[in-house]
Amino acid sequence: MDKFIINGGKPLSGSIPVSGAKNASLALMPASILASGVCQMHNTPELRDIHTMGRLLESMGLSVKLQNHTATINSTGINNFEAPYEHVKTMRASIYVLGPLVGRFGQAKVSLPGGCAWGPRPVNMHIEGIKKLGADIELEAGYIIAKAKRLHGARILFDISSVGATGNVLMAAVLAKGTTLIENAAQEPEIVQLTEYLIMMGAKIHGAGTGRLEIEGVDELHSADITTIPDRIEAGTFLIAAMLAGKKEKSIRIQKCEPHHIGSLIVKLEDAGGIITTGPDWVELVPPKEIRPINITTAIYPGFPTDMQAQWITLMSLAAGTSMITDTIYFDRFMHVPELSRLGANIIMKENIATVAGVPKLVGAKVMSTDLRASASLILAGLAAEGTTEVLRVYHIDRGYESIETKLQALGADIRREKGEEF
């Protein structure tokens, strides 16, 4: 397994681009199942999860080619409606094929998903939503088996706003007979783009970007091309790198991003002392002389994203005071805390609240990645720490950050990838 060797304390400056959004691509790619034809998805990131989704679609008979950040998907050869465990076990987003398969073909057999190492993320909202649309669903030997002659419209109210469930039910509903209402729908940019893409394919959907989606089912869709939005979590991660390790009085510019997608993070970074300027597709940050301690509570979009919680804890580890970080989305997403403590961070956990007392410095050590965002937090810590940090099991980071070491090297970071220990 690969590892990163980071010699910390190197001041960063310059500019780097943001790749396409992983979570948007992982919803857009299964949407190709809904129509027969060839589509192109530009600005698709070269990531482990993207290749996993591509192999899953290919196992169903689709053709998937990823070249120069364009995914070309030909759905004319679909001949298998099963998503087997071997493809699904490594990535929870694989369940996105359930809605399109049932919606268009009236059948699906999808393995219960795997993915991140932390915490359960139940799929019951996906299942119950598609049941309301008229599918018969059984759980058998680790598989979701769904059947329907044709789905029909229904009113679906999610108890909590779920990105995955909203996307799955939305894709199932576009070909259902009649009108579907999705209440308390997710409003994340990735869901907004999925909605816009389905409309490009001929779907009739009202309310994009709101908590209430109204879908009038159509008989068929057609293929369409799209350009994937920038990855807001990658942009946010690099902004925190600038806060932690940026050259004083020098700016770092994050290019090819959507500033309004990370508005809540920008506000908090300014509260912490960062000087931020934004343009139509860029954000520029000058780091403060002293990081101020700022509390955050994660929330559904447009609140502070849970996917930035681990990185924020790293930032607050070097703040001049004490802060509290509360994750209301995933209570058990704190596996990075013991590893940050190995670098000298002072963090006390109580249930879903981390109390972080800022320390004067972090010191390099050997640490282990446990999930995607934890990996990012440890890399950030290594950039700011004195001495050498080894981050093990970086295959996690490859799931969601495209060539992160190359981009950080462009800013002046001393980071390299090496073969690491086997586990």
Question: What string of pLDDT tens digits covers the 423 residues of the chain?
Answer: 899 999 999 999 999 999 999 999 999 999 999 999 999 999 999 999 999 999 999 999 999 999 999 999 999 999 999 999 888 888 888 999 999 999 999 999 999 875 444 344 568 999 999 999 999 999 999 899 999 999 999 999 999 999 999 999 999 999 999 999 999 999 999 999 999 999 999 999 999 999 999 999 999 999 999 999 999 999 999 999 999 999 888 999 999 999 999 999 999 999 999 999 999 999 999 999 999 999 999 999 999 999 999 999 999 999 999 999 999 998 788 999 999 999 999 999 999 999 999 999 999 999 999 999 999 999 999 999 999 999 999 999 999 999 999 999 999 999 999 986 654
Alpha helix stretches (DSSP H) within 208-258? 232-245
Q: Can you tell me the distance from the alpha carbon of 73 to that of 202, in angstroms, rounded to the nearest whole number?
A: 18
Q: Can you tell me the distance from the alpha carbon of 329 to that of 160, in angstroms, rounded to the nearest whole number?
A: 10
The radius of gyration of the chain from alpha carbons, rounded to an integer in Å, stands at: 22
This prediction has a pTM of: 0.95
Considering the chain, what is the average pLDDT of its residues? Answer: 95
pLDDT for residue 117: 43
Domains contained in the chain, CATH given: 2-18+230-419 (3.65.10.10), 22-227 (3.65.10.10)
360 burial level (CB within 10 Å; 0-12, 13-18, 19+): exposed
Q: For residue 9, give the 3-state DSSP assignment.
A: coil
Whether the link from the prior residue into 302 is cis, omega within 30° of 0, is yes
Cβ-proximal residues to 335 (8 Å cutoff; 6+ apart), any chain: 117, 118, 370, 371, 374
pLDDT for residue 91: 87
Residues of 96-126 as b/e, b for ≥16 C-beta within 10 angstroms? bbbbbbbbbebebbbbbbebbebeeeebebb
| Residue for token pair 């990531």 | 47
Catalytic residue among 116, 245, 362, 367: 116
412 burial level (CB within 10 Å; 0-12, 13-18, 19+): middle
Q: Can you tell me the distance from the alpha carbon of 352 to that of 374, in angstroms, rounded to the nearest whole number?
A: 15
In a 13 Å sphere around the CA of 238, the CA atoms on its Cβ side amount to 38
Residue 164 token pair:
């995955």
**Residue 39: active-site member:** no
Residue 211 token pair:
């908590």
